[in-house]
A and B are shown apart, each in its own frame.
Chain A
Amino acid sequence: MSAAAIRRPVFGIIAEFPSATTLYEAAERVRDAGFKFWDVHSPFPIHGMNKAMGLGKSPLGYIIFCGGFLGFTTAALLEFIPSSFLFPLIVHGKPVNFFTVPPFFPIMFELTVLISAFTAFFGVFILNRLPRMHHPLFDHEPFSRVTNDAFFLVIESVDPRFSETATREFLEGIGGKAVTVLYAND
C-alpha cells in the first residue's frame, strides 16, 4: 500500500530487532539520545526495560491503594450504619457498638480486596488508553508478529527530536532492521 501517496501525516518510524537483548540495548541508545515519544514492543514484558527506557515505576500502585481504601470505607459504612443505627441486631447477647469490631473485619477485608482488584484491572486499560481498535501500528504488516516472536522499536513523529531522515538513519545505526515510516490512519 502506498500510504505516502494518500498524503497522510507521518505517525513515526518503526524498526525491527532480532532479539530481546538487541532491543534492550537499542532502547538504552534511544533513551540516551533524548527521545521522549517512543516505545518498544515485545511479545512479553522484558525484565529491566523500564530502566532501559528511562521510565519510572508505574503509578498504578497508588491508584489501587485509593481503590482499596474506598473498598474498606464502603464496607465499614455498609456494616456499621445498619448494625449500629438502622437495625441494631443483638445476637448471642453481644453488644452492638464500635468495640465489637473484630467480627466486622472479614467483610472489610473482602471489600478492600474486591475494589482494589477492580481498580487494578480497569486501571491498566485506562492508563494504557485501551481499548483502541485502530492504531497506525496495525497497518504495518510485520507488526502482527509482535505477539509471536518479533521485537519492534517505534519513535513517534510528535517527538521534538524526530526527523524523517535523521531518525531513520539513527535507527539503522543502532541495529534496527526493516526500518519503515508509518502513517497516521485517522
Chain B
Amino acid sequence: MAESDASTTVFVERMPRHPLVWNNHSMAWISDRIAGIVENKAPLWWWVTIAITSSFAAFGVFCILYLLFTGVGVWGNNIPVGWAWDITNFVFWIGIGHAGTLISAILHLCRQKWRTSINRAAEAMTLFAVICAGIFPAIHVGRIWMVWFMAPVPNPNWIWPNFRSPLMWDVFAVSTYFTVSVLFWYLGLVPDLATMRDRAKGRVSRTIYWILSFGWRGGNRQWRHYEMAYLVLAGISTPLVLSVHSTVSFDFATSLVPGWHTTIFPPYFVAGAIFGGFAMVLTLMLPARSLYKLHDVFTWDHIDVMCKLLLVTGSIVGYAYCMEFFVAFYGANPFERFAFLNRYFGAYWWASWTMFTCNVIMPQLMWVRAFRRNWAIVFFVSMCANAGMWFERFVIFVISLHRDFLPSAWRMYYPTWVDVFTFIGTHGIFLTLFLLFIRFLPMVAMSEVKSVLPESDPHYHPPAGGGEEPVEEAHA
C-alpha cells in the first residue's frame, strides 16, 4: 500500500485513522495477552459463573427430557396456538446466530479490518446460538424418534419429503449454516492453534494443539491457499447469512395466516437477526473485555462501530414494523387489518409495545456519541435489543395465531413452567458453551489482529522519533 506510505511522509492526514490496536502494542504482547487467558489458571468468577450457567443448562435438559417422556402437552401450546415459545425460541436463537458469520464474511469482503478483534468470539457465539436453536425444532415434534422425517429420505411407505416445502428448506438452511460456520470458524482458528502449540509447556497440551493445528507452519505457500479459502468462504457465506433467516421467514410468509403472509418478511427478518446478533455480541464482549483486560484490542472504536450497526438495523426493523402496519391498512384485507390492530391493541398489547420500545426507540440513543462510549448505556441498549427481539418473535407467532379466522377457535396462550425453564435452560447451555470456549481456545484471532498492525504492512517504515516503543498502559 504505497499510498499509506506516502501519507506518513509527504503530508499529514487531516483526520488520521485511529489505530485498530491501541497503545502501539507489539505482536508478542498480543500473543501473550490472548493466549495468556487460556494458559493461566481460571479466575474465580469463571468457576462461579459456569457453576450457575451449567446448573440452568442441566435443569433445561431435565425439562427437555420431561417433555420427551411425557409429550408436548407439558407445554402451553394449544389449538390454535400450535407454535408458541418453541418456535419463538428457535427463531430467537437462529437470529442471534447471524452476527458471527456476518462479521466474518460480509465485513471481510468489505475490508472492514476492525472485525479482526471480535470475529472469533462472534463466530463461536454463532455456533452456540445455532446449537440452542436446533434443539427446538427437534423437540417440538413431540415424538423425537420421528425426527428423521426431516431428512431427505423416503419414509417406510416410500413417500419422499416435499422438497417444495419451506420446512424442508429450513432443515437444509439451518444445517448448512451450522456446518459452514463451523468450517469457517475452525479455518480461522488453525493459525492460532499453532500459536498455542508453540507456546505450550506441557507435553500433552502441546500434542493436542499440534493435532488441532494440523502442524501449521505459517509459510507463505500455505497462507496463499489459506487466504483464497478464507476469501471464498466469505464470499459464499455472505449469501448464506442472508438466506438463512430469509428461509426461516418463508416458514411463515408462505402460509396464509394474517400477520405472516407478507413479502416484507425476508429482509425484515434478516435485519432483525443482525440487530439481535450484534446486541448479543456486545452483551458478551463488554464483560469479557473488562474481565480479561482487552481494552486495547477490543477498543471503544469497535464498540462505537457496533453501536452504529445496532442503530442502523434497529431502524430498519422499525421501518418494517411501520410498513407492515401501513400495508395492513392499505391492502384493504379485513383479516390483515384486524391482525395488526389486534397486535398493538389486543390482549397482548404489552408484548407488542415492549417489542417496539426495545427494538426501535431504545437504539435511537445510539445517535449520541457520548452514549456509544458509555458502557452502561451500551450494555442497557443491547440488553433491550436481546429482549425486544425475543418479543418480536413472540408477537409475530403467538399473537397472529391466537386470533385466527374463526372466533369460535380463539384462545389465549399461557406458558407453563416447562416452557419457561426450557428457554432459560438454553441460555444456560449457550453461556456454558461460551465460557468453555473462552477458557480453552483463543477468544481473539491473534494472527488476524497482528495482520492489521501498522508494522505488518510490508511497505511500512517506522516514523522518525521512535514512536515504535510499545507503551504498557493504564487499563489495569
Residues of A within 8 A of B (CB): 19-21, 23-25, 27, 39-50, 52-53, 55, 57-58, 60-61, 64, 68, 78-79, 82-83, 86-87, 89, 91, 94, 100, 103-104, 106-107, 109-114, 116-118, 120-121, 123-125, 127-128, 130-135, 137-138, 144-149, 154
Contact = CB atoms under 8 A, between A and B. Distances in A.
B195 A42 contact: no
B197 A20 contact: no
A154 B461 CA distance: 24
Interface in B262-299: none
A121 B448 contact: no
A39 to B, nearest CB: 4
Contacts of A131: 211, 214-215
10 contacts: A41-B219, A44-B191, A44-B447, A47-B458, A49-B458, A52-B458, A109-B243, A128-B221, A147-B191, A147-B218
B236 interface: yes
Task: Give the secondary structure class of B's interface.
Answer: helix
Interface of B: 1, 26-28, 31, 152, 154, 158-160, 162-165, 168-169, 172-173, 176, 179-180, 183-184, 186-187, 191, 194-195, 197-199, 210-211, 214-229, 232-233, 236-237, 239-240, 243, 247, 250, 446-448, 450-451, 455-461
A148 B198 contact: yes
A130 B159 CA distance: 44
A61 B228 contact: yes
Nearest to A96: B164
Contacts of B455: 19-21
A20 B460 contact: yes
Contacts of A144: 198
Contact of B451 (A44, A57, A60): A44
B125 to A, nearest CB: 19
B156 to A, nearest CB: 13
Contacts of A137: 217
A94 B284 CA distance: 47
A133 B247 contact: no
A158 B227 CA distance: 27
A111 B176 contact: yes
B184 A86 contact: no
Contacts of A53: 220
A60 B224 CA distance: 9
Contact of B458 (A46, A109, A124): A46
B161 to A, nearest CB: 8
Nearest to A82: B160
Contacts of A20: 455-458, 460
A111 B163 contact: no
Given A86-B154, A107-B163, A118-B183, A133 B227 contact: no
A88 to B, nearest CB: 9
Nearest to A107: B172
Given A40-B220, A46-B456, A123 B173 contact: no
Contacts of A132: 214-215
A134 B215 CA distance: 8
B127 to A, nearest CB: 14
Counting chain A CB atoms within 10 Å of each CB, the highest count among B26, B217, B237 belongs to B217
Given A104-B164, A147-B198, A110 B172 contact: yes
Contacts of A145: 198
Contact of A82 (B163, B198, B243): B163
A114 B179 CA distance: 8
Given A128-B221, A148-B195, 6 more contacts: A46-B456, A60-B228, A94-B164, A113-B237, A117-B179, A118-B179
A50 B224 contact: yes
Give the 9 A-B residue pairs with the shortest CB-CB distance, closest first: A24-B458, A149-B27, A44-B451, A103-B164, A58-B228, A82-B160, A45-B223, A131-B214, A106-B169
A9 B6 CA distance: 47
A120 B183 contact: yes
B216 A130 contact: yes
B198 A120 contact: no
Contacts of A94: 164
B225 A44 contact: no
B195 A86 contact: no
B416 to A, nearest CB: 34
Contacts of A147: 31, 191, 194-195, 197-198, 216, 218, 447
B159 A117 contact: no
Contacts of A46: 220, 223, 451, 456, 458
A13 B417 CA distance: 68
B283 to A, nearest CB: 28
B147 to A, nearest CB: 18
Contacts of A23: 458
Contacts of B224: 45, 50, 55, 58
Contacts of B457: 20-21, 47
Contact of A79 (B163, B180, B197, B215): B163
Contacts of B233: 117, 120-121
Given A60-B228, A121-B187, A39 B163 contact: no
Contact of B243 (A100, A106, A128): A106
A148 B26 CA distance: 10
A170 to B, nearest CB: 19
B220 A39 contact: yes
Contacts of B195: 43, 147-148
